[in-house]
Amino acid sequence: MNKDTKIYIAGHKGMVGSAIWRNLTAKGYTNLLGVSSSELDLRNQQAVSNFITDEKPEVIIDAAARVGGILANSNYPYQFIMENMQIQNNLIDSALKSGVEKFIFLGSSCIYPKLAPQPLKEEYLLTDTLEPTNEWYAIAKITGIKACEAIRKQFGKDYVSLMPTNLFGTHDNFDLNTSHVLPAMLRKFHEAKENKHAPVTLWGSGTPRREFLFVDDMAQSVLFALENKLPESLYNVGTGEDITIKHLAETIQKITGHQGEIIWDATKPDGTPRKLMDISKMHDLGWKHQVNLEEGIQKTYDWFLENIERFKEVKM
């Protein structure tokens, strides 16, 4: 892969896309392409086709998606399945028709069955039913994985899917109506601290176990896939370590300096009991994460504090 290879990063302003952009730039890549959603609506098939045809990228990295936690998935099921399918299908199909040889598709660990054996192996895909609270997003991502696999099989192109565990980091979404568990907790604890260490109420029992990966480590896995031709079509990306949601809450409480009570609302859903990724395939190829959980949360909290003015408009 040459440093002047033209690489289009779809979703380059989001948490994952911006991390990929930063890491590729730091590695010396000079011909990166990105356009905002106001300039290019990735849900518009003709617009995407025209863009890919005109720009002629040599590589496409798909970090664009409609994302959110349990609440967002529950409230907007149609948008989560339809818009994600539109975005990825338009990019994948346009890439194939324009002769793009390398495509990196990013998904999520929620593609695996709710009660799949732990840790989650790539071969568990489509072996049982999904977690109902995020099945709409998961089904969309599964179709993207299978589209890339089909292109690999039928046309021999280097289209690969990377499935990260729960991601967090700088440029995350801290809107409590649509955010994932870690940034939502971080904001809740910070605002409770500012409110005289008021109690913090969290969903569920705190017993489910989750694995978290700092977004710059995810970006490094994309760089790894960019610079190597991976032999298979689907790879898990994570740390191989998980913690309880209760432990996560206590860790965030400590980092933010909140000293109040934590109240667990057991009337709210827990989601999947456990989600731990088997990352042996990526490890065997030579990639491994670098940032531990506490270090990553501290970096994320520092960034949140530096950019706190932008979040004050969206209230709890």
258 is in an annotated binding site: no
Q: Which helix (H) or strand (E) holds 232?
A: none
Burial code of 133-146, b = ≥16 C-beta within 10 A, e = fewer? bbbbbbbbbbbbbe
| Alpha carbon 162 to its chain's center | 10
> CB–CB of 178/68 below 8 Å?
yes
| Cis? peptide before 119, omega within 30° of 0 | yes
Distance CA 38, CA 196 (A): 40
97 is in an annotated binding site: no
33 is in an annotated binding site: no
Distance CA 117, CA 112 (A): 10
Distance CA 104, CA 5 (A): 15
Q: Token pair of 295, please?
A: 């270090």
303 is in an annotated binding site: no
Distance CA 226, CA 235 (A): 13
> CB–CB of 84/145 below 8 Å?
no
Distance CA 83, CA 130 (A): 19
Domains in the chain (CATH in brackets) are: 7-311 (3.40.50.720)
136 is in an annotated binding site: no
Report the DSSP beta bridge partners of residue 160. Answer: 104
Q: Token pair of 296, please?
A: 């990553």
| Alpha carbon 16 to its chain's center | 6
29, 112, 137, 235: the active-site residue: 137
Q: Which pLDDT value is given to residue 210?
A: 93
106 is in an annotated binding site: yes
Taking the alpha carbons at both ends of the chain, their separation in whole angstroms is: 45
Q: Which pLDDT value is given to residue 316?
A: 43
Q: Which pLDDT value is given to residue 199?
A: 97
The values of phi and psi at residue 255, to 5°, are -70, -40
Nearest Cα neighbor of 192 from 214, 176, 172, 169 is 176
16 is in an annotated binding site: yes
C-alpha distances out from residue 227 to 23, 186, 192, Å? 13, 34, 44
5 is in an annotated binding site: no
Q: Is 124 a catalytic residue?
A: no
Distance CA 46, CA 19 (A): 28
- Eight-state DSSP code of residue 195: T
Distance CA 149, CA 30 (A): 29
pLDDT digits (tens, 9 = 90+) for 196-254: 999 999 999 999 999 999 999 999 999 999 999 999 999 999 999 999 999 999 999 99
115 is in an annotated binding site: no
Q: What residues in the chain have per-residue pLDDT under 50?
A: 315-316
The values of phi and psi at residue 250, to 5°, are -65, -35
Q: Which pLDDT value is given to residue 74?
A: 80
C-alpha distances out from residue 141 to 62, 82, 259, Å? 11, 11, 40
Q: Count CA atoms within 13 Å of residue 217 on its CB side.
A: 26
Instruction: Give the contacts of 28 (CB within 8 A, at least 6 positions apart).
Output: 3
Instruction: Give the contacts of 119 (CB within 8 A, at least 6 positions apart).
Output: 240, 276, 277, 278, 279
15 is in an annotated binding site: yes
Predicted TM-score (pTM) of this structure: 0.91
284 is in an annotated binding site: no
